């Protein structure tokens, strides 16, 4: 029964995603030669066409990657790929916990290797074609090695601990595993700004004293304490610009991409930061964390039940090992097939995210200037080659941010 459901949901998911992608592609290409009226005085036709071509190129690549990933998923599950990997790993060691950790490492390594050509093409072909890539092959390799090492240092102990809990903590192991997972995620969020991020980028204090003073005044008006204002050398990887808040409590800091500071005026930067502060003021970050943890608890509970069902393995192409535990296989199968069954929830989460963005925009217009935020949004859209004419249905289904034209209309009307 699970096999039939899996195939049905997979076909429905792939079909829907390809249909939405084709809608996006047709809509963007058909509006390529005309700048929307509300942007005609701000963005030139050449920039608009570049954004359309960039969006179309990304959609085409995503469609190819989508089909490839579906083939890999079927190959690993229903066609017995995971079964063969499990049998091979069993020949390497007789230690049950080590065998299971190695199984997860082997599958993750395989998936990473299969996805590597897409990452390389995206970075050095697609991004380079539109003038965004500034990453060298040497830096790409360095980042990849660092990512693997950090993943091993942080992830392997977590995996081993979860597997141990599955074997030793009894029927309700999933409650303890969820608690461990939650603490781990909070720990990563806490250490990321000061321990992980500096391994990849250089962070220097913001030197513009006047801008720093304006930011501090904005933060004080909003009741937001800061531990620092930093500039990140994002330009060594990409021409895209951004800014973000990171950290908790007294460790909170604002980080600017150097590419963003080079493009926006001081008033526009203040407006963008006011929008980000709106997310904190309305507790959007904590609400999303709470939703994430609640969802994880539900998923762990489902996994706790499925891991005990023989049909969960056999219907997905795996014969459980009789001489050892199958906890690692349960984890792998669960996290590989869950996205297939939960894809239908995507527009709901997208709607919640867009709702938060509108709230943050209203907050920014009250704390700074709606006109300056509009000006900043137009510059960011232009610089990042974001399409001005997304397909409405595709946008409603996927986009975490409302289309910029709608955001601007609401800002100017407030």
Active-site positions read 276, 361
> Using an 8 Å Cβ cutoff, are 132 and 386 in contact?
no
CA distance 83 to 86: 5
Closest to 395 in 3D by CA, of 55, 87, 42: 55
Which single residue is written with the structure tokens 């005026």?
265
Alpha carbon 302 to its chain centroid, in Å, reads: 24
The per-residue DSSP string of 138-190 comes to HHHHHHHHHHHHHHHHHHHHHHHHHHHHHHHS-TTHHHHHHHHHHHHHHHHHH
CA 389 → CA 41, 48, 197, 380, 381, distances in Å? 16, 9, 34, 15, 12
CA distance 381 to 241: 10
119 token code pair: 């990452």
The per-residue DSSP string of 339-350 comes to HHHHGGGHHHHH
> Using an 8 Å Cβ cutoff, are 56 and 26 in contact?
no
For the chain, what is the radius of gyration of the CA atoms? Answer: 24
CA distance 316 to 330: 11
375 token code pair: 């000006």
CA distance 197 to 191: 9
């Amino acid at each position: 029964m699970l096999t039939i459901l899996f195939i049905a949901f997979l076909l429905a998911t792939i079909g829907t995603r390809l249909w939405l992608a084709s809608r996006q592609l047709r809509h963007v290409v058909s509006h390529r030669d005309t700048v929307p009226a509300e942007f005609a005085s701000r963005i030139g036709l050449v920039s608009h066409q570049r954004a359309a071509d960039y969006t179309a190129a990304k959609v085409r690549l995503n469609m190819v990657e989508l089909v490839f990933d579906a083939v890999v998923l079927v190959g690993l599950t229903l066609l017995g790929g995971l079964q063969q990997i499990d049998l091979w790993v069993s020949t390497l060691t007789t230690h049950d916990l080590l065998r299971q950790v190695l199984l997860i490492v082997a599958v993750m390594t395989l998936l990473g290797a299969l996805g590597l050509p897409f990452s390389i093409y995206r970075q050095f072909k697609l991004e380079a074609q539109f003038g965004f890539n500034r990453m060298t092959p040497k830096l790409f390799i360095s980042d990849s090695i660092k990512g693997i090492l950090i993943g091993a240092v942080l992830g392997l102990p977590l995996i081993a601990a979860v597997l141990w809990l599955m074997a030793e903590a009894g029927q309700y192991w999933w409650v303890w595993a969820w608690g461990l997972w939650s603490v781990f995620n909070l720990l990563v969020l806490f250490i990321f700004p000061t321990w992980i991020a500096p391994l990849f980028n250089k962070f220097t204090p913001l030197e513009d004293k006047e801008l720093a003073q304006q930011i501090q005044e904005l933060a004080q008006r909003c009741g937001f304490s800061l531990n620092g204002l930093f500039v990140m050398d994002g330009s060594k990887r990409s021409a895209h610009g951004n800014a973000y808040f990171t950290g908790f409590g007294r460790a909170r800091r604002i980080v600017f991409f150097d590419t963003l500071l080079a493009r926006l005026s001081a008033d526009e930067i203040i407006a963008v930061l006011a929008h980000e502060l709106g997310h904190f003021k309305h507790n959007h970050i904590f609400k999303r964390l709470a939703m994430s943890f609640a969802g994880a608890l539900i998923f762990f509970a489902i996994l706790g039940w499925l891991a005990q069902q023989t049909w969960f393995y056999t219907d997905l192409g795996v014969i459980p090992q009789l001489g050892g535990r199958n906890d690692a296989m349960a984890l792998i199968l669960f996290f590989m097939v869950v996205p297939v069954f939960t894809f239908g929830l995507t527009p709901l989460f997208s709607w919640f995210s867009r709702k938060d963005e509108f709230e943050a925009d209203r907050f920014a217009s009250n704390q700074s200037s709606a006109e300056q935020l509009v000006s900043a949004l137009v510059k960011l859209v232009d610089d990042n080659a974001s399409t001005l004419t997304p397909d409405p249905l595709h946008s409603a289904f996927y986009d975490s941010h409302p289309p910029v034209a709608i955001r601007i209309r609401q800002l100017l009307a407030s």
